[in-house]
Amino acid sequence: MTPPTQPPPNHDRGLEYDLATLHRRRFLGLFTAAGLAAVAGCTTDDGTTTSTPSSTSTSATPSTSSSATTDAAIEVDEIPQETGGPYPGDGSNGPNVLTQSGIVRSDITKSFGSASGVATGVPLTVELIVVDADQDKALEGAAVYLWHCDAEGRYSLYSDGVTNENYLRGVQAADGSGKVTFTTIFPAAYMGRWPHIHFEVYASTAEATKAGQITRTSQLALPKDVCSTVYATDGYDGSARNLSQTSLEDDNVFGDDDGVHQLATVTGDVSSGYVATLTVGV
């Protein structure tokens, strides 16, 4: 698999620029929910746990299930501010999908509007819990714009073959527990990056759909054991090789702390699909 077609050099400023955007805050703090306190421990060197294709996988990160944020105290650090990368589709580098009718949706596997493409791959549900890190409360009504590459490592709107598609991009508003849910597919691993999902947090859906003020831009990392299982399936040609050539420690976004605030908890299996959950402190 080759990496996605690159945009003009002045838009993708490379490793030096990406490293300059990394602002790490505090070490992983306490996360409490429903009277149960847990202190995150040490991960392995690659921040993963052992799994089989049909088993449940977890990662050491301050994330929570949807029920854990309802009527419960939440203590979580701010998620690091990261680069949106060269393929945001938010108008900052070429195409702007945010102002198009149809962008507010939960199922992002299909293109919308005049496009008709469908992204295929291992099913993945992404659940983000958006939290005000200063006040330790869920941010009901906040909006999340989420996007990622397909099983071939291509980004809709930008990469060769999918410039006329807009799949794997969508906006959702947080419910009363701060949760947004996206139905999607597991992204590929392309050369030079750890498998990841991009997102931007906005104060509201209205702010997101006018490509307005961004509250936080960050990325979600996926655990190595789950990635290895998915990349052994059909449709992810080259991903296993690309995964083997990088690591969380060496990634130019997650590398300085092994993605401790961004490594999602993932459960499920290839047959029924996976669920990736992450608490996002803003």
pLDDT digits (tens, 9 = 90+) for 87-113: 999 999 999 999 999 999 999 999 999
* Residue 262: partners with Cβ closer than 8 Å, 6 or more residues away: 61, 79, 80, 218, 219, 220, 221, 254, 278
Q: Which residues of 141-179 are buried (b: 16+ CB within 10 A; e: fewer)?
A: ebbbbbbbbbbbbbbbbbbeebeebbbbbbbbbbbebbb
How many percent of the chain have pLDDT more than 70? 73
Q: Provide the pLDDT confidence category of residue 139 given band limits of 50, 70 and 90.
A: very high
Q: What is the pLDDT of residue 1?
A: 53
Residue 38 pLDDT exceeds 60: no
- Among 230, 232, 251, 131, smallest CA distance to 185 is for 230
Dump the DSSP string for 25-69: -SPP--EEETTEEE------TTS-----TTS----SSS---GGGG
Q: What is the pLDDT of residue 76?
A: 85
Question: Mean pLDDT across the chain, nearest whole number?
Answer: 81
C-alpha span between 183 and 282 (Å, rounded): 23
Compare 69 and 230 and report the one with higher pLDDT.
Answer: 230
- Among 206, 200, 140, 126, smallest CA distance to 175 is for 140
Residue 154 pLDDT exceeds 50: yes
Q: What is the pLDDT of residue 73?
A: 53
